Homo-oligomer: A and B are copies of this chain.
Amino acid sequence: MRKTMKIPRATVTRLSLYYRQLELMEFDGYRTVSSEKLAWLCQVNPAQVRKDLGYFGEFGVRGVGYDVRELQNQIKKILAINREWNLGVVGIGKLGSALLQHRNLLARGFRCVAAFDNDPEKIGQLGPSGIRIRDIEELSRAVKELNIEIGVITTPASAAQYVADVFIEADVNAILNFSPARIQVPDCCMVENIDFTVRLDILAYKLHHEINS
């Protein structure tokens, strides 16, 4: 990659989607794929696929397409998911527990190395993945000891900002926020918000306006 070039976020997102489709294709026994087919599977247009990959080099062979496994490996390198990343999960309710046990996370190199809660009934217990649930007060120390690189917030909205502040104070600059609260962070910190109730709202809005239009 040309070091000075800023890659659009949408490109990074699509690379992640291409990677998933390539995995499925490899599982189904495919060895090569055309940009047309990959585009169709990912619901983008073929020129977009070629442009996205073009930021990082020449991967395909004209008339043959992309080697499924080779392109996977290249995208893994580009996305930096050819290594493990350590996650700390705060808020071990239903969703936090599901994440701790989520097969896809570890399969993609995202390892939940620590779990935190503020509920005295939960602290010290073994979480669903066999990991001990720590007091949220231990977060800062655990970040250093376990090299937590990405913080995951699955607390109620009211606790999200406090947890984010503790992560940032402990130098964790990447946060995946499942709480419905928008958290305020300094520029050095990256946040990805995942609020699926927002997506349900969008579906409800569209359904309603379709029915009534």
Instruction: State the A residues within 8 Å of B (CB).
Output: 3, 9, 12-13, 15-17, 19-21, 24, 27, 41-43, 78-81, 85, 87, 94-95, 97-98, 101-102, 104-105, 108-110, 128, 149-150, 157-158, 173-176, 178, 180-182, 184, 190, 192, 194-210, 213
Contact = CB atoms under 8 A, between A and B. Distances in A.
A85 B204 contact: yes
Contacts of A85: 200, 204, 207
Contacts of A184: 43
22 contacts: A3-B213, A9-B202, A20-B181, A20-B182, A21-B182, A24-B158, A41-B182, A79-B205, A79-B208, A80-B204, A80-B208, A85-B204, A94-B98, A95-B102, A98-B98, A104-B180, A105-B197, A110-B197, A150-B207, A173-B210, A176-B199, A176-B203
Contact of A201 (B3, B81, B102): B81
Contacts of A79: 201, 204-205, 208
A202 B13 contact: yes
A181 to B, nearest CB: 7
A200 B108 contact: yes
A13 B110 contact: no
A36 B175 CA distance: 25
Contact of A198 (B3, B16, B175): B16
A200 B79 CA distance: 10
